[in-house]
Chain A
Amino acid sequence: MKAPFAITLRVGSSLANKTGAWRTERPVYVDRLPPCNDACPAGENVQRWLYHAESGEYETAWRELMRDNPFPAVMGRVCYHPCQTACNRGKLDEEVGINAVERFLGDEAIRRGWTVSVTAPPTGKRVLVVGAGPSGLAAAYHLRLLGHEVTVRDAAPRAGGMMRYGIPAYRLARDVLDAEVDRIAAMGVTIELSSPVPDAAAALRDFDAVFLAVGAQLSRRTEIPAGDSARILDALGVLRDVSEGEPPLLGRRVVVYGGGNTAMDVARTARRLGATDAVVVYRRTRERMPAQPFEVAEAEQEGVRMRWLSTIAAADGGTVTVERMRLDETGFPRPTGEYEELAADSVVLAIGQDVDRSVVATLPRVSVADGVVQVGADMMTGQPGVFAGGDMVPSPRTVTAAVGHGKQAARYIDGWLRGEPYAPPPRHPLATFERLNTWYYSDAPATVRPTLDAARRVSTFAEVVGGLDEGSALFEARRCMSCGNCFECDNCFGVCPDNAVVKLGPGERYAIDLDFCKGCGICVTECPCGAIDLVPEET
């Protein structure tokens, strides 16, 4: 018997009704630039490597990281992580501990002996890198990956530059640094130590391109009226000597002059060398200090004292005369004429570093301004084929920025060598917090990294900040909100009232079925990470 006419229907027949015709707007999947990536001086795709770490694919995550930065373990220790400052999760509860995960990945790579192999065909081009610091080694790494023959020369007896001679071991264990430098050397990069390059022009004759990355290693001096018996040292010298295993005699009472990270490093180093009283003298206030707040906090935990709004007027045997300052209405420190005396066995100046520009002295087309070498957007100096980066060019003078310069320079050098100028890919618009639908993210406060007990710190150069165990690193990675980049949470697939979102399978993301999409925009509103835009339909 036939079913009743018209009243009884065969199921699913509405597929004949293409409701996409109603649409005036359509959802479009986009990739936005996550604020972490945006903030990373090394240009890491943080969101991307966290994505792999979230699923426990640490090697994949590490390799993703290594596409931009050959020093994950170093970064995980010394980077001031502007990525975390920018992290959108900080507006929700606490920023993701990106730096800690990075350290975990870096340590995991060392522990497991992961290596990088060069698959690019040899180009036959030879590049000289001057300086085996973070910028030079990063450039060497990237250039090698691109198939070039790379020689790194450094005046120092060991590689690492400021990573070795500027950063104390309690922040960066030397075996970690060695492992990451060795890995670069193992890729076929020639590293020639104790080999200063006095003349870049001469070097240019033997190489197709030169990358200068000598850093800023000259400690700045200041005029302090000092008696004969005053013991005044410079910060870099102190740190270098400690690194070389020949710690200078600083005495029990040490005054450090300056307010930057180097000042903190020296003060903390002094504590470890036995100083019972380490005082940082700085002319402005805590808020105006260039040092990272965490460095100041760790220093204070270790017993370092701070004297704000003070300058050193004079130093003589065992005494430092300090003048109190006040900030004028513009925030500039002004002398007050009030003086005070501090007991001090030594004074360490940590008031800045300058670039040794002798390497470019023979290159008249290279211009220098404000004490640093000037480069174009392509990181090339005025001398064709001579590029420069790191602390010797205008930069924030951090290890991470230097590493970023190395990568950038490598790409431009590669383009220049190939005759195909490198054009950086366009940056996506920023993935702002307002685009997120944070309701979907579970409440999850940040994981605290273990720290060494403060009482023990003053007697050892062991690392103050420890790494995360795997469980904690995984937890932390999973706190990432994947801002602006689809992480396949299926929300769009689920919330469409018209079943007009097609799931393409793992790693393949989704597509909109325009036959049925009415353009309501729920998928856009409900996308947790803000990776869908609603755009007007073309009429």
Chain B
Amino acid sequence: MSERVRFFQTGSFAVGNRLLPLDARTVQSDPSRSNSLTSGHRACRGCGEALGARYVLDAAMRATGGRLVTVNATGCLEVFSTPYPETSWRVPWLHSLFGNAPAVASGVATALKARGRTDIRVLGQGGDGGTVDIGFGCLSGMFERGDDVLFVCYDNQGYMNTGVQRSGATPPAARTSTTQAVGPEPGNVFGQGKSAPLIAMAHEIPYVATATIADLHDLESKVERAMGFHGARYLHVLVPCPLGWGGDAAQTVRIARLAVESGLFPVFEAERGEVTAVSPIRHRVPVEEYLRPQARFRHLFEPERRADVIDRLQAGADRNIERFGLLRAEERFGPPLGEGS
């Protein structure tokens, strides 16, 4: 984690800070940022993925000096950004299929290498369906070959584009249109699903990280860091979906934050298969605080509170906190002003 300047008023956490030198502010605070995904796209109001994609790509554009090409899996991001005759992308962008984005990105990277254009960097991106499910074979192949690609998964925990069906990234108990809130154990099944970041780490690729749209500084620093490596890299970004999660559009970022602060979504970095840093929980909240604003978990509270299910989810969060040391993590920042360096 790169060192940050400590300013208390806006914290180190707001997008910008008039008190910081320009080069220490986020990419997003820059009026001349790339806006890689520009206005006029057709994402739902309050779309977390639209936000995440711009955050990631703008940061990657800065990290590469604008020498970036992108490959996109089929999914919401592709559909809402490129309905003929309009595209919202301002970066070179290729969409092929749902399940092949990592392989297409590999092809792009290989071509650039063959053409001696290694100044240009490649970023592949897709949703959780295109990444952890249908695209997983291609992703694993890209990883094990060490192709020079940063693949970014915008995880909204389901197939939102097709109407909110369950994916391998859907959390337990969540209602989707294929895991309905009916029967004695409503919602998605416990004990299923996978952690793509951990599987990515098992490939011992140079860099794996998780992030959310709730901590822009963290996200941008990870993109920048990822671009500092060559070879296969993986960034898994949690992007709440107001439609699929049944949250207020205005709460998208807040819900991502609660996912982190509850411990349900551990934010960490790993190099060559080993966790090297975790982002600590700053103000821990019980999982219930995260679950309550989301209609996909409403059946845990109505008609009666399902303490048994909530407890199981809390246990999962507790396990993450224990496993990744989310409370023990070192302070990420230097000493406050006036206390030394």
Contact = CB atoms under 8 A, between A and B. Distances in A.
Interface of A: 6-7, 9-19, 22, 54-55, 437, 439-444, 471-472, 474-475, 477-482, 487-491, 493-500, 503, 505-506, 513, 515-516, 518-522, 524-526, 528, 534
Nearest to B15: A494
A290 B161 CA distance: 65
Contacts of A493: 15-16, 28-29, 31
Contacts of B93: 11
A478 B9 contact: yes
Contacts of A499: 35, 38-39, 54
B131 to A, nearest CB: 20
A16 B40 contact: yes
Given A14-B41, A475-B337, A442 B15 contact: no
B216 interface: yes
B236 interface: no
B283 interface: yes
Nearest to B84: A6
14 contacts: A7-B84, A441-B8, A478-B337, A489-B14, A490-B28, A494-B28, A497-B252, A516-B39, A520-B46, A522-B46, A522-B253, A524-B250, A525-B251, A525-B254
Given A439-B13, A442-B12, A525-B254, A11 B87 contact: yes
B86 interface: yes
Interface of B: 6-19, 25-26, 28-29, 31, 35, 38-43, 45-48, 50-51, 54, 81-82, 84-91, 93, 216, 242, 248-254, 257, 282-283, 333, 336-338
A13 B86 contact: yes
Contacts of A494: 15-16, 26, 28-29, 216
Contact of A498 (B41, B86, B91): B41
Contacts of B6: 442
Q: Is the contact region of chain A dominated by helix, strand, or loop, or is it mixed?
A: loop
B16 A489 contact: yes
B108 to A, nearest CB: 15
Contacts of B8: 441-442, 444, 475, 478-479
Contacts of A515: 39
A478 B19 contact: yes
Contacts of A490: 14-17, 25-26, 28-29
A441 B253 contact: no
Given A439-B283, A441-B11, A497 B251 contact: no
Given A493-B16, A493-B29, 8 more contacts: A55-B19, A441-B10, A478-B19, A489-B15, A491-B14, A498-B50, A521-B46, A522-B46
Contacts of B91: 11
Nearest to A482: B9
A479 B252 CA distance: 27
A478 B89 CA distance: 38
B212 to A, nearest CB: 12
Given A12-B89, A520-B45, A489 B84 contact: no
Nearest to B11: A442
B59 to A, nearest CB: 12
The 4 closest A-B pairs by CB, nearest first: A490-B16, A494-B15, A521-B250, A14-B40
B279 to A, nearest CB: 13
Contacts of A487: 9-10, 18
Contacts of A480: 9
Contacts of A500: 39
A10 B88 CA distance: 9
A439 B283 CA distance: 8
A19 B39 contact: yes
Contact of B42 (A15, A19, A439): A19
B15 A525 contact: no
A520 B337 CA distance: 37
A9 B250 contact: no
A522 B252 contact: yes
B10 A528 contact: yes
Contacts of B251: 525
Contacts of A18: 40
Given A495-B253, A518-B45, A440 B14 contact: yes
A22 B6 CA distance: 39
Contacts of B250: 520-522, 524-525, 534
Nearest to B213: A495
A440 B40 contact: no
Contacts of B90: 11-12
A472 B254 contact: no
Given A472-B338, A528-B10, A9 B85 contact: yes
A495 B85 contact: no
Given A17-B42, A475-B337, A495-B253, A441 B87 contact: no
A519 B242 CA distance: 13
